[in-house]
Every structure is written in C-alpha cells, then in structure tokens.
Amino acid sequence: MRIALIGYGKMGKEIEKIALERSHSISFRINKENANEILQISPENTDVAIEFTSPESAFENLKNLLTQRVSVVCGTTGWLAKQKEIENLALQNQVAFLYASNFSLGVNLFFRLNELLAQMMNKYPNYKLLLEEIHHTEKKDAPSGTSITLAQGIMENYPAKTAWVNEFSEKDNLVSIVSKREPNVPGTHIIRYQNEIDCIEIRHEAYSRKGFALGAVLAAEFITGKKGIFSMKDVLQLG
C-alpha cells in the first residue's frame, strides 16, 4: 500500500515506522515546508493518506485530498466543527474517510468501558463525575479529542449529563473535563465517580505513541479500496 503522510511530526514519524514494518511504502511526507505538495497527491501515486497535522490545517488538507479522490485516515483533533462537511465531500467523491480521536486498541476498549460505567452510574447521581486528561506540553488543543469522545459516551448513557465543559465544575448536568499539560506525557485519561464515601475510577495511560500509530495503519489498511465513512469500531470490530 502506498501511504502519503500528511504531517511528518511526532505521529507522522511513528506511523512511518509501523507502515514500513508492515511492508507499505511512503509516497509523500508533507509538513509545513512542503505543504503545497499535497496538490500532487492522487489515486495514481497513493492508495491512502494519513493526516496528523494541527487543528488549524486539518480541514484544508482533508478538503484537498478528498477532492483529489484520495481516501483519508485522519487523527488530527480540534477541527470537528466541520466534520459533516468533510464526510459529505468524501461521499461526493466516492472515496473513504475515517476519523478517530484515538486509534489505540486500549482506548477503544476504554471507550466501551466508559459507556458501560456511565450506564451503571446513571442510577447513582450522588457520585460526582470528573474527567481528567493529561498530555505533553506541545499539545495545541484542549480538551483532548479523546476526552470529547469520552464525554459524548457518557452523555449518551447518562441522560442527566447534557453538555461538557473544559473546566472544573460540580454542576450536576455537566461533564467536567480538566486538562493538564506535563512534559512528555503521550496521553492519559481518567474518569472518576466520587462521593464522600468512596471513589470509582477508570484510567487509560498510553506508554508511548506506538498504539496510536499502529491503529492508524490498521485503519488505512481497512479503508483501502472501500468507499464511505468508517470508524475504529469498523476496523477493530469491537462488540
């Protein structure tokens, strides 16, 4: 499979390692310096593009790739206000598009655990809920994309929670997300239900970026040759 790497930073380089180990080749490596080369990417030279750039650049990159009829796996967070527009563009151009806030198997299992826990805790409103995320100091967006997915999973299973906020709050209808930035943390997410008697907590801690990169390459393998909108649920076939 010929993969174009859009974003050749921490994630782009990690993805390249895994892609080469899995016998794929790299057709383009794009960063800010050679950003215009994205216009040369086409189905003739590339099977799939993997986009990990920045919240400011993702939308334009995705628009170009999909219009050029190139299927895309996107991991960039912080651009989702325009997700529907991008999905429509993928459908119009008859290619595949897959976005995930987190590509690791562990986090995708954790998403399910979070939903099950929210279903249970929904019946015990005297527990206060707090969602905490810790990432490296270079991270541009807050809250993390993963914590937004976790908050959505809670709201779908705990109807009294109607919105999320990115600050500490004890308002009963809110999912409070506290974001912390510390050197060299690949990504940690904690969900805590607590009252004056006890505390129930689930936590996912990534030890490196390997799980994110492997998941992105598996996603690229999965969508190659397909058309439509996909998610990591399709790739990992989690029940």
Ligand X SMILES: O=C(O)C1=N[C@H](C(=O)O)C[C@H](O)C1
Ligand Y SMILES: NC(=O)C1=CN([C@@H]2O[C@H](COP(=O)(O)OP(=O)(O)OC[C@H]3O[C@@H](n4cnc5c(N)ncnc54)[C@H](OP(=O)(O)O)[C@@H]3O)[C@@H](O)[C@H]2O)C=CC1
Active site members: 135, 139
Which of 20, 21, 25, 32 touches ligand Y (CB under 6 A)?
32
* Contact between 46 and ligand X per CB under 6 A: no
Contact assessment for residue 73 and residue 220, using Cβ atoms and an 8 Å cutoff: yes
Q: How many CB atoms lie within 10 A of CB 201?
A: 12
Can you list the positions of beta strands (E) in the chain?
A: 2-6, 25-30, 48-51, 72-74, 96-99, 128-135, 163-165, 174-181, 188-194, 199-205, 228-230
Among 53, 102, 108, 114, binds ligand X (CB under 6 A): 102
Q: Is 176 in the site for ligand X (CB under 6 A)?
A: no
Q: How far is the CB of 145 from ligand X (least distance, A)?
A: 4
Sign, Cα dihedral of 159, 164, 168, 171? negative
Site for ligand Y in 88-127 (CB under 6 A): 100-103
Distance, in Å, from the CA atom of 77 to the CA atom of 148, rounded to the nearest integer, reads 10
Give the DSSP letter of residue 209.
S
Strand partners, 48: 3
- Determine if 59 is a binding residue for ligand Y (CB under 6 A): no
CA dist 108 and 145 (Å) reads 13
Contact status: 153 vs ligand X (CB under 6 A): no
Segment 159-178, which members bind ligand Y (CB under 6 A)? none
Task: From the list ligand X, ligand Y, none, pick the one residue 2 interacts with, judged by a Cβ distance below 5 to 8 Å according to partner type.
Answer: none
Residue 10 binding ligand Y, by CB under 6 A = yes
- Residue selected from 24, 144, 235, 236 as contacting ligand X according to rule CB under 6 A: 144
200 contacts ligand Y (rule: CB under 6 A): no
Binding residue (CB under 6 A) for ligand X from 27, 77, 108, 176: 77
Chain residues that interact with ligand X, rule: CB under 6 A: 77, 101-102, 135, 139, 144-146, 187
